[in-house]
Amino acid sequence: MNFALILFCLLVASAAIWLADLLVFRKRRQMQRARILAHARGETPPETGSPNAGHGSSEEEIQHTVQGAGLADVRDKCRVSIRMVQRLLAQYGEKLSDEERMRIAAAIKGAEEVLHGGDIELIRQRNGALDATTQMFFKDPWWVEYGASFFPIILIVFLLRSFIVEPFKIPSGSMIPTLQVGDFILVNKFTYGIRLPLIDRKIIEIGTPRRGDVMVFRYPEDPSLDYIKRVIGVPGDRVAWQNKQISINGKPVEKHRINDYLHPERLYYSRQFAEKIDDAEYRVLNDQDVPAFIADPSSFPHGENCLYNNQGVICTVPEGHYFMMGDNRDNSRDSRYWGFVADENIVGKAFFIWLNFSDWKRIGTSIK
């Protein structure tokens, strides 16, 4: 199942629990707390649904910060609180953990120790600590507690992943030397426009892919897979791959030979070139002993826009589509084989390498 769909389902579920806690469970908990506290103190509980339900006099009477209260009054309130908590512990203590029962017992003991002293502020302090322990008797079910607490986290992750940035891992060597197998990269989700998650419909136009961009997209032959390649042709371009030379609209792409590239895992060299399209400069690999002929291309939409020959392929990019190629030119299945990438399949622009367990020096590298 698509990760975005799983995340969305978790978001909906946690949001429902959060709303239920806000609108139902919290009010019910307040009324239940008022009734139980009143019963524990031997008083008449407030009417259910009354304006003071959950906030009535039974709550106010146990507040210990009343300014100007005399020592005798504070002692009386402390005695009431001690009796109340003792009754709650006797009636509902079995629902608590051993640690919670120990904390409550310690709070009762602390209040009893200062009850007959003359330090009014210390009595108020211990009484306040004792009163705080009553919260342990009114906990939500675990699924409400965890669901409501996770909602903000899931919401933030969902918004970040859907509209701002999304992480990916490079699984293959088709973009060597720009990207290595095992690179963990970040993809900017709003460079090419804001899209609604799940349905991927663009709602705000911000920008469009440019020649030379490294772009993540859903594979046209299987949209459940994410691919990453470099944009070579934009709508209307005539892209030619002939004898291992790219030409765009009849103009050869600038490139020059640089030091050969060593594949460390295979211990062999590939010819390496510095290539430039518009403002983008990057490196590509091109093996001399591999023919330019495109073997077994797929049947794809707008396939009539492409002409295959012994020297490669020549394609005219249709409107709303892009021609993609890997930087490892002889080891990349790309638009030369399976056609164009539609605008609705775009995921975002790759811009940063944030992790690589095999080569720590690559961490923090920008993608060009």
338 and 245 housed in the same domain: yes
Statement: the pTM of the whole predicted model exceeds 0.85: no
169 is catalytic: no
Q: Is residue 17 part of a domain?
A: yes
Residue 255's domain is classified under what CATH number? Answer: 2.10.109.10
Total domains, the chain: 2
Termini Cα distance of the chain = 32
Sign of the alpha-carbon dihedral angle for 355, 357, 362, 367 = negative
CA 4 from chain centre, in angstroms, equals 9
326 and 183 housed in the same domain: yes
Q: Please give the Cα distance from 257 to 181 (Å, whole number).
A: 24
174 is catalytic: yes
Q: Is residue 75 part of a domain?
A: yes
Q: Is residue 291 part of a domain?
A: yes
Q: Which domain-ending residue is among 88, 122, 142?
A: 142
Q: Is residue 71 part of a domain?
A: yes
Select which of 58, 81, 162, 229 is catalytic.
229
202 and 126 housed in the same domain: no
179 and 130 housed in the same domain: no
Q: Which domain-ending residue is among 95, 127, 142?
A: 142
Domain range enclosing 51: 3-142
Q: What is the pLDDT of residue 67?
A: 39
Q: What is the pLDDT of residue 258?
A: 97
112 and 188 housed in the same domain: no
288 and 327 housed in the same domain: yes
Q: Which domain-ending residue is among 123, 142, 161?
A: 142
189 and 324 housed in the same domain: yes
Q: Please give the Cα distance from 306 to 315 (Å, whole number).
A: 4
Q: Is residue 158 part of a domain?
A: no
Q: What is the pLDDT of residue 152?
A: 82
Q: Is residue 165 part of a domain?
A: no
130 and 187 housed in the same domain: no
Q: Please give the Cα distance from 281 to 244 (Å, whole number).
A: 18
Select which of 174, 270, 332, 335 is catalytic.
174
53 and 119 housed in the same domain: yes
241 and 135 housed in the same domain: no
Q: What is the pLDDT of residue 29?
A: 58
280 and 330 housed in the same domain: yes
Q: Which of left, alpha, beta for 296 (phi over 0: left; psi -120 to 50: alpha)?
A: left
Q: Is residue 192 part of a domain?
A: yes
196 and 318 housed in the same domain: yes
Size (the chain), residues: 368
Q: Is residue 150 part of a domain?
A: no
What are the φ/ψ torsions at residue 94 (nearest 5 degrees)?
Answer: -70, -15
Q: What is the pLDDT of residue 4?
A: 62
Instruction: Give the CB-side neighbour count of residue 56, counting CA atoms within 13 A.
Output: 22
Per-run averaged pLDDT (10 residues), the chain, 368 residues? 64 70 61 61 47 42 46 86 83 80 88 86 87 74 69 81 89 95 94 81 88 96 95 98 96 96 87 96 92 93 96 97 97 97 95 93 93
Q: Please give the Cα distance from 332 to 311 (Å, whole number).
A: 17
